[in-house]
Amino acid sequence: MAAERIYLDWNATAPLLPCARDAMLEALAMPGNPSSVHAEGRAARAIVEKARRSVAALVGAEPAHVTFTASATEAANHVLSPVYKMGKASISIGALYVSAIEHPAVRAGGRFAADSVTSLPVTRSGVIDLEALSDALARHDVAKGLPLVAIMLVNNETGIVQPIREASAIVKKFGGLLVVDAVQAVARLPVSIAELGADFLILSAHKLGGPKGVGALVSRGETLMPEPLVRGGGQEKGHRAGTENLGAIVGFGAAAAHMADGLSARSASMAELRDGAEAAMLAVAPDTVIYGRDVERVGNTCFFHLPGLKAETGQIAFDLEGIALSAGSACSSGKVGASHVLTAMGEDAATGALRLSLGPQTTEAEMERFVATFAKIAARRRMAGQAA
């Protein structure tokens, strides 16, 4: 009898929480349009607003500052705009500055022309180079508009936590706006938009146990907002047109409410399992490279390289043993190739690296089986090397 499969790719997507599924099924049975004024419409509107409150609470924001989108990618394309609105007045953004380790949705630059996007370097430890950020903003041509800076809170490949508060102080010094991709941070770290000093946060439901196909852009205030990306009706206060995806939004809200409880204990448990696995990996294969061990990381992520093993080969080997993990981001059309994150860190990214990411339901037994499989793969690598 084949062993039950082990899922260790939570950074790609988290399994749907039962509470989110139940809330979605109830919402899908509702006939009303949230924009309708009759009783059915008001009932639909009520559960959208309940979800909005839950998502806002997860990041210390006001409910009125949450705009639901079809994904985090859409939220990124919405907020990375060269034109903002303050009331009816237009505010120009002169250039976009993004860290070199951002998710592809942010690295693509949103609605900015390619020559208006500047990539900011990171250190060899994978942390944004704050001096380079300051130097870049000091050279910014304010005559062309405000600078817009995008830096993720937690890197999706390495799990490294970025110094957002320090970055925010630099951005504010030069009169800029700060967008923070918090997709991999919420429900794993305490997140407060005000404490971070961010002007906008990007969120995704399916990373924390909600459904795929819904995200949010959270703003610090209501005065300054990017020009709408999706135009049409007046939904989401005019920031995002289109009838709200009732089932997905309600599932997002249910997952957010569920994950808000027990954050500290959950994170500590995952970190303990991850750290134990890393120690065992190094005992089996001391030449294993684990990225980000010298800096702060989120507790559920391990990004590692076994010299002599290509990431694609390793991913297939683990999959054949019944273990699902990934070779970096899952958002590159399923392609396995050189990691732009490793390249930005000055590492040899030719053979790639493997990412295991834990979730709240990951068990000690599952991690023991992962380590045993890792040992088997490492032994095959050694034998192959001796044969050569």
Residues labelled as active-site residues: 331
Query: 283-315 burial, b for 16+ CB within 10 Å, e for fewer?
Result: ebbeebbbbbbebebbbbbbbbbbeebbbebbb
Q: DSSP string spanning 164-202?
A: HHHHHHHHHHTT-EEEEE-TTTBTTB---HHHHT-SEEE
The 3-state DSSP class for residue 371 equals helix
Q: 88: Cβ–Cβ under 8 A, 6 or more apart, which residues?
A: none
Pairwise CA distance, residues 114 & 55, whole Å: 33
DSSP state of 9: B
Pairwise CA distance, residues 152 & 25, whole Å: 33
Check if the beta carbon of residue 154 is closer than 8 Å to that of residue 303: no
Nearest to 75 by CA among 230, 221, 199, 244: 230
